[in-house]
Chain A
Amino acid sequence: MTAYLAHFLVMVAIYAILALSLNLLIGYSGIFSLAHAAIYGIGAYASALAALKLGLGFWGGLVVAAGAGAFASALVAIPSLRVAGDYYVVASFGLQVVVLAVFMNWTDLTNGHAGLPGIPRPKLFGWVIDQPFEYVFLAVAFAVLTWAVCWRLTNSAFGRVLQAIRDDEIAAQAMGKNVVLVKIVIACISSALGAMAGSLYAHYITYINPSSFSLHESIFIATLVILGGSERLAGPIVGAFLLLAIPEVLKFMAIPDTVAAPMRQIIYGALLIVFMLVRPEGILGRARHGR
């Protein structure tokens, strides 16, 4: 039972990192991305390959993952964010599709559908973190760190510029803000953090394959942000907790697996529709303004 709860908490922490980092784009910058699962996957694969082929441990892999995530994001952001923001949705969708195709088809490197097994557990000063409850501390520590980074970014002059760009890009330019640079920077930071979640996931499950990083997953992460509330820092964390809890609750009801899986999708879909209708600002709602 403790192991079960620990696993749940690790996954909540990982999804909280994904949702917090995606919210830097969706909520704070007004840039909608459909590539967050691809970024998550890039982090997972980069970290796993760094461990399996280069012999780097978790910590080295984490750095490689963050760098790879930021790099992939920059490749898409630099051309597409120069023009109006809406193009990024399309460009990020393209990134998601291409990255997943690479995971599946570059079999020499990624082993295709069969995936990569045997990813080592993280080590901290010679101590191997291999118990689920130990991993809870690691994952939650990273979630807290991500939250702190997001807090600092959004509660600062930089955060003010992000909001100004989101609300009126032309005005921000006229007031001397380098809009294109700021958008590229925030896309890279968001992706570096999302890729670190991938690294945490890969070294936790010790096995990855492309199915964890599909377009469905991207939409799921966006759902966490939207349902939790994109205007508050804590919104995505609440979203991650609640949406991961739903399938766990279903497990305790006497519902066969064949029904539970589609039922989960139906619940997610229904929740999205209900929220769009009655509470479009999400569970936590709107931040108070005029700080």
Chain B
Amino acid sequence: MAAEPAILCVEGLARSFGGIQAVEACTFDVQPGVITGLIGPNGAGKTTVFNLITGFLDADHGSIRLQGKELLGLSPHRVERLGVVRTFQHLRLWNKMSVLENVLLGCATPAGENVFSLFLRAGAVRAEETRARERAMEVLQFFGLADRVHELAEDLAYPEQKLLSMARIFATDAPVLLLDEPTSGLDSESLGRIVPMVRRLVDHGKTVLLIEHNMELISELSDQVVFLHQGRVLAAGPPAEITRDPALTEIYFGV
């Protein structure tokens, strides 16, 4: 890999729950403009790493730097504003809100969310809302959901809900997107819709770090792979290298 500086550097990350060391001395880099896949067997600590990066958990040790800025210790909304935004394995869409509103919540509307400017700068708020709606429609078009804008999120089919969870974070200006199992629970037809979509995120200048369970998909889905086992990074490199390593596949499949 070329020596381009990493956009996200995780170093010596550790977190334990009671007596269980979920993540330990975990160190890896995420290169800008590519897809990095975080893989490993169940309980390897993948989701814990996500929660640590996005501020939902505090770390015991280590550091997580986004373009040199330390993220550890920040609350989730501060991490998002600095440029790292995530999806959830169980999607966490706003089910009772429309598809459009779900995406609008990703669009930047600082004036409309501030009660002072809401009452004192009505013109600026209106202009901002118009821009946000245009942006949301563009994003929904991009994700192929433009004809579903007024439906409730809960009324979409599961693959479309997955797309919506990606659309909502794509609408933010965050450069780094964390996808928690974007392909879980999907049949092969839906995979054909979602996998290229992940690739297109990168084509649009985003950096993607994703958790993936499926070893067969990992070479298709990622440019770099970080293999996690019992909270430690066992190996990192191009997917072909990782999937060919018999020691790693043994750990993964437990054979």
Asked if A and B are interacting partners, one says yes
A175: which of B111, B118, B152, B168 is its contact (CB, 8 Å)? B168
Determine, out of B89-97, B212-220, B221-229, B244-252, the stretch whose residues face the partner at the interface: B89-97
Does B114 have its Cβ within 8 Å of any Cβ on chain A? yes
Contact A178 B112 (CB under 8 A): no
Contact B129 A157 (CB under 8 A): yes
B85: which of A164, A170, A175, A179 is its contact (CB, 8 Å)? A175
B113: which of A157, A173, A290, A291 is its contact (CB, 8 Å)? A157
Complex Cα spacing A208 to B167, Å:
55
Does A176 have its Cβ within 8 Å of any Cβ on chain B? yes
Contact A158:B115 (CB < 8 A) given known A167-B97, A168-B92, A290-B150: yes
Contact B95 A158 (CB under 8 A): no
Complex Cα spacing A158 to B116, Å:
11
Query: What is the size category of the interface that chain B forms with chain A?
Result: 35 or more
Contact A290 B80 (CB under 8 A): no
Does B109 have its Cβ within 8 Å of any Cβ on chain A? yes
Complex Cα spacing A153 to B88, Å:
29
Does A7 have its Cβ within 8 Å of any Cβ on chain B? no
Complex Cα spacing A167 to B132, Å:
21
Q: Which residue of B lies closest to A180 (CB)?
A: B75
Contact A173 B75 (CB under 8 A): yes
Contact B114 A171 (CB under 8 A): no
Nearest Cβ distance between residue B78 and chain A, in whole angstroms?
A: 8
Cβ < 8 Å to B, chain A residues 130-157:
149, 152-153, 156-157
Contact B112 A289 (CB under 8 A): no
Does B119 have its Cβ within 8 Å of any Cβ on chain A? yes
Contact A164:B86 (CB < 8 A) given known A171-B93, A171-B94, A290-B151: no
Nearest Cβ distance between residue A75 and chain B, in whole angstroms?
A: 19
Contact with A along B100-138 (1 / 0, CB 8 A): 110011100101111100110000010011001000000
Interfacial chain B residues near A170, Cβ < 8 Å: 56, 88, 92
Contact A161:B113 (CB < 8 A) given known A174-B76, A178-B77: yes
Contact A174 B54 (CB under 8 A): yes
Instruction: Report how many residues on chain A are interfacial, defined by Cβ distance under 8 Å.
Output: 28
Interfacial chain A residues near B114, Cβ < 8 Å: 158
Complex Cα spacing A185 to B92, Å:
24
Contact A168:B94 (CB < 8 A) given known A153-B115, A175-B80: yes
Interfacial chain A residues near B56, Cβ < 8 Å: 170, 173-174
Q: Which residue of B lies closest to A286 (CB)?
A: B96
Chain B positions near chain A (C-beta within 8 angstroms): 54, 56, 75-77, 80-81, 85-86, 88, 92-101, 104-106, 109, 111-115, 118-119, 125, 128-129, 132, 149-152, 168-169, 172
17 contacts between A and B (CB under 8 A): A153-B118, A156-B118, A156-B129, A157-B113, A157-B128, A157-B129, A158-B118, A160-B97, A160-B104, A167-B97, A170-B56, A173-B56, A174-B88, A176-B172, A177-B113, A290-B149, A290-B152
Chain A positions near chain B (C-beta within 8 angstroms): 149, 152-153, 156-158, 160-161, 163-164, 167-168, 170-179, 182, 185, 189, 289-291
